[in-house]
Structure 1
Amino acid sequence: MAWGDPTVVSSEGTACSGAADPTACLAKLAELRPADGIFPDLDGYPHRATQVVYTRHDEVGAVTSAQELATFLKPITDAKTAGFLVRENGYDISCGGDERNARPSGDGFDIIGQIGGGCGRRDRTEDLLHVSKDGQITVLSSTVVERADPNCSPGRRPEGFAMAGASVDASPLGRFFAEAAELEAASVPAFLRLAEELAHHGAPADLVLHACDAARDEIRHTAMMTSLARRFGAEPSTPVVPPRPVRSLFDIALENAVEGCVHETHAALYATHQARHAADRRIRKVMKRIAEDETRHGALAWSVAAWIESLLSDEERARIDQARSDAVTTLMNGTAEPHPDVVRIAGAPSAAQASRLLHAVAGELWAA
């Protein structure tokens, strides 16, 4: 069940069956509000937390962690229970569901599941898992089915930046926000360099000023994302961005076409979706502010493009158009299914939603 607005996700059997006082048992069940869940409430900010609640005769209780769930379910004697445990540990079940996927093996079941993938540091793998009778999950083999691409993450990345990423031991939400914080931090020197280079080449003063303002925005975004990452148990890595000499107008325009016109526009789109769909109130508030800023950053990128590209040759503009088109294609081919927590709690678009959003923007903006 999910508390906050209590919703029954699924149920088995009859509540309070066999209780000496069924009425009292049902009343206790209705009043049960566990403080924690398999996806727990943290730092006092409420979001949907998943629990398994149960009755055993007159006993009413709740399971509030993945470890407790394994203990509660054992012995694992059927494929449906084995599949449920695997899913609650973050896997997507492959090959048509639990019963068709799982097969008895040794003291339990073997199941194929997929985990990871999308923007970030972790590959998406298809794992052969063994679920023992006592609820222990062991990875028997693992095959990479989709390489993770840190470069598909929204936002402006500076030249020479290599993403370190969050610890693989962090929760899915922790990793998501830690990697977002690292990308936001990397955007600070990216905008400072842009401002310096624009000034060097005699760009209009308002473009230089807006690039400096964007760097300040990214400092604030870094603090917001760091706070969310720590809330979900992860510590962001500090980006290392080596200093670079001032580039030519063409090289600036080439980077701006990809990192600004495509990635900053994508970041604004992504943040707007989160601001509207995150189940967590605090995340919605944070992403609303970030979406407003990223929309301005995207507009800045197009303004920079208009100024610089007017000074370039036809051949150079054609190369920039091709780079922008290639970046859009990379984004559209890089959509993968985020972890369910990231979709539900953080409001990230699912793979299908991301694809629809990208195609809509490609038709209205990037094709122009």
Structure 2
Amino acid sequence: MHKDQLKQILRNAVLLALPVTTQVGCVSEPVIVDPPKSTDPCREPAVRSSGQATVDEKIYLNGSDTLSAAECVKLCQQLVKKQYSYEWSTLVGMENFKANQCTTKFDPNTYDTTLQCAASFTEVNSAYTGAPGCYNPSRPMVGRMPAGLQIHPQTAASELGNYFADMAAMETAAITAFRYLVRELTAYQAPANLIQLAQTAVKEETRHAHMAGLLSQACDTAVPVMEVADFQLRSLFEIALENAIEGCVNETFAAACGLWQEQQAEFSVFRQVIGHIAEEEIGHAALSWSIHEWAMPQLTLVQQAHIRQAQAEAVESLAQKFLREETPLVRRAVGLPQQADAAQLFQQLRTQLWNERVA
């Protein structure tokens, strides 16, 4: 998708959503009945729900090694958990895990072994509280998140300091994410223009991290310490799945939110910085959609269906995250949408973008 096309879609969505800014309380909080208690101040009480997943993934076996039934189930569970690593998941555990038809298939032509299984389990989810000193990933920060990212929060001097420190951390993480993406696109012989756009994104994310870091520094708050796993070349399916979630859903919404903030932020310096970042993040989101269009036809029909389902679930998950508002001080200062506004913006993006391209 061309950047100008996506930019027009996002601007239209923002403009159509803006008139509802005076409507308050149109989105209700989720109702949780007698949930288990949590001792983690950074997490809400755990909520359990049924979950299902399928696995069709290449694995490494040494020579003629085979898996026992128990080993197959254990590896199936590990691969299912891996499917939840593409976003800031609220998943904290899986109970009653059962794997049906867990098998491995060896291809003598390619020497590849594929593990296949269908799993059912009970998801244990615990949302982030956003309490002081806790890192809250539900903020609409721009930037692509690399797999294997760990962020260690620092003590914030203020609410705004915490916001910009998180922003700087996520922009910094996006630098590595795009560097890895460049290597993966090159390995799979993606079109040259996609590789070039990913290389440009590395430079742009570096600027974004610097700008956000300056704002964090101005608020006397250190940027969180980050750790990212070493590069490992993934399958095209894994790359396409992460891109579909991180780029076509999360980055796309974050870019729209940036356009909103450019209009609504209380202070001009924040409007200028966020507006500049949002303009370039639209390009990153457009790149994600272009990668999506390039990668999907190369996947099997089952893999394509899995990605479409994962995208739809990511849209719903993202919508739930924004039921919780930022503090009034942060919301006004950086122009974040209130609950009703975020719901309306979601609806506009569904209508104009996701319903057509994700369903």
1:356 to partner: Cα distance = 1.5
1:351 to partner: Cα distance = 2.2
Q: Structure 1: how far apart are the matches of 2:166 and 2:227? A: 14
Partner of 1:195: 182
- The 8 Å contact of residues 150 and 163 in structure 1, kept in 2 or not, is answered as no
Partner of 2:88: none
Tell me, what secondary structure is at the counterpart of 1:163? strand
Identity of aligned residues (%): 36
1:341 and 2:329 equivalent? Answer: yes
Q: Structure 2: how far apart are the matches of 1:152 and 1:283? A: 16
1:362 to partner: Cα distance = 1.8
Partner of 1:282: 269
Partner of 2:314: 327
Partner of 1:159: 147
Q: Of the two, which has the highest radius of gyration?
A: 1
Root-mean-square deviation (CA, aligned residues, Å) is 2.0
1:194 to partner: Cα distance = 0.7
- The 8 Å contact of residues 151 and 225 in structure 2, kept in 1 or not, is answered as no
1:122 to partner: Cα distance = 5.1
- State the Cα deviation string for residues 160-184 of structure 1 (Å, max 9, x = none): 01222342x4211110110011000
Aligned mate of 2:210, from 223, 226, 247: 223
- The 8 Å contact of residues 165 and 237 in structure 1, kept in 2 or not, is answered as yes
Partner of 1:362: 350
Change (3 A) 1:282 1:157: same
1:150 and 2:160 equivalent? Answer: no
Partner of 1:182: 169
- The 8 Å contact of residues 165 and 182 in structure 1, kept in 2 or not, is answered as no
Partner of 1:88: none
Q: Structure 2: how far apart are the matches of 1:313 and 1:182? A: 36
Change (3 A) 1:179 1:328: same
1:171 and 2:149 equivalent? Answer: no
Instruction: Name stretches of at least 5 consecutive residues in structure 1 with no aligned partner.
Output: 1-120, 126-143
Q: Structure 2: how far apart are the matches of 1:205 and 1:257? A: 20
Partner of 1:298: 285
Aligned length: 229
Partner of 1:206: 193
Q: Structure 1: how far apart are the matches of 2:212 and 2:301? A: 41
- The 8 Å contact of residues 166 and 179 in structure 1, kept in 2 or not, is answered as no
Tell me, what secondary structure is at the counterpart of 2:212? helix
Q: Structure 1: how far apart are the matches of 2:129 and 2:178? A: 29
Q: Structure 2: how far apart are the matches of 1:159 and 1:185? A: 14
Q: Structure 2: how far apart are the matches of 1:333 and 1:289? A: 27
What is the TM-score normalised by the length of structure 1? 0.59
1:350 to partner: Cα distance = 1.7
- State the Cα deviation string for residues 222-278 of structure 1 (Å, max 9, x = none): 011111111122111132111131111101000001111111101101111111111
Mapping of residues 1-368 of structure 1, within 5 Å: 147-148=129-130, 150=137, 153-154=140-141, 155-167=143-155, 169-335=156-322, 336-368=324-356
Q: Structure 2: how far apart are the matches of 1:352 and 1:305? A: 30
The residue identity in structure 2 corresponding to 1:343 is R
What is the TM-score normalised by the length of structure 2? 0.61
- The 8 Å contact of residues 224 and 286 in structure 1, kept in 2 or not, is answered as yes
